[in-house]
Amino acid sequence: MRIRDLVYGSILTALALIIPIAFGGYLRVYLPPFSATLTSHVPVLLAMLAGPAVAAMVGVGSALGFLLVLGPVVAARAAVHMLVGAIGAMLVQQGRSFRFALLFTAPLHSVFEALVVLHFGFTSYEALIIVGVGTFLHHLVDATIALAVVASLKVSGLIKARGPLPH
């Protein structure tokens, strides 16, 4: 991992930790047994542009942040962000668009989180419908925010019009 990637990863990991800890009370949607903290996926989604190792690192930070605030079940769900981020980053590295990576990983994200909660004894309905569909919708909302952030960074000239992050 290059120093540049480590810096991007560190900043995004800090955000992944801060969002559930500092803003969870304001940005959390809770529909038992589902909870979603709006913007919590944005750091790992942005990390897809820096590569699989960075995305996985940010996913670790996301899981840790949720472990500190909401406990092991939500942290286990957040640990899925490591895999989702790495898959999306590999798609970007293969030349797929960021938008494609975000859309491709949405159903994977929801299925993985549903499988995680099944392990914790939730019913199939709770896991597949409430958590699965909720995660899918949450992913799409946060993907829209991530696309807006990238578009803003492109307009400002901080990242290239094409391709991932600056070198």
Rounded to two decimals, the pTM is 0.92
Residue 117 inside a domain? The answer is: yes
Token duo for residue 145: 């925010």
How far apart are the C-alpha atoms of 160 and 167, rounded to whole Å?
A: 10
What tens-digit pLDDT sequence spans the chain (167 residues)? 789 889 999 999 999 999 999 987 888 888 877 889 999 999 999 999 999 999 999 999 999 999 999 999 999 999 999 999 999 999 999 999 999 999 999 999 999 999 999 999 899 999 999 999 999 999 999 999 999 999 999 898 877 755 555 44
How far apart are the C-alpha atoms of 134 and 129, rounded to whole Å?
A: 8
Residue 103 inside a domain? The answer is: yes
Question: Between the CA of residue 78 and those of 65, 109, 111, what are the distances in Å?
Answer: 9, 10, 13
Residue 162 inside a domain? The answer is: no
Domain count within the chain: 1
Amino acid identity, residue 76?
A
Question: Domain range spanning residue 91?
Answer: 3-156
How far apart are the C-alpha atoms of 85 and 51, rounded to whole Å?
A: 9
Q: What CATH number does residue 85 fall under?
A: 1.10.1760.20
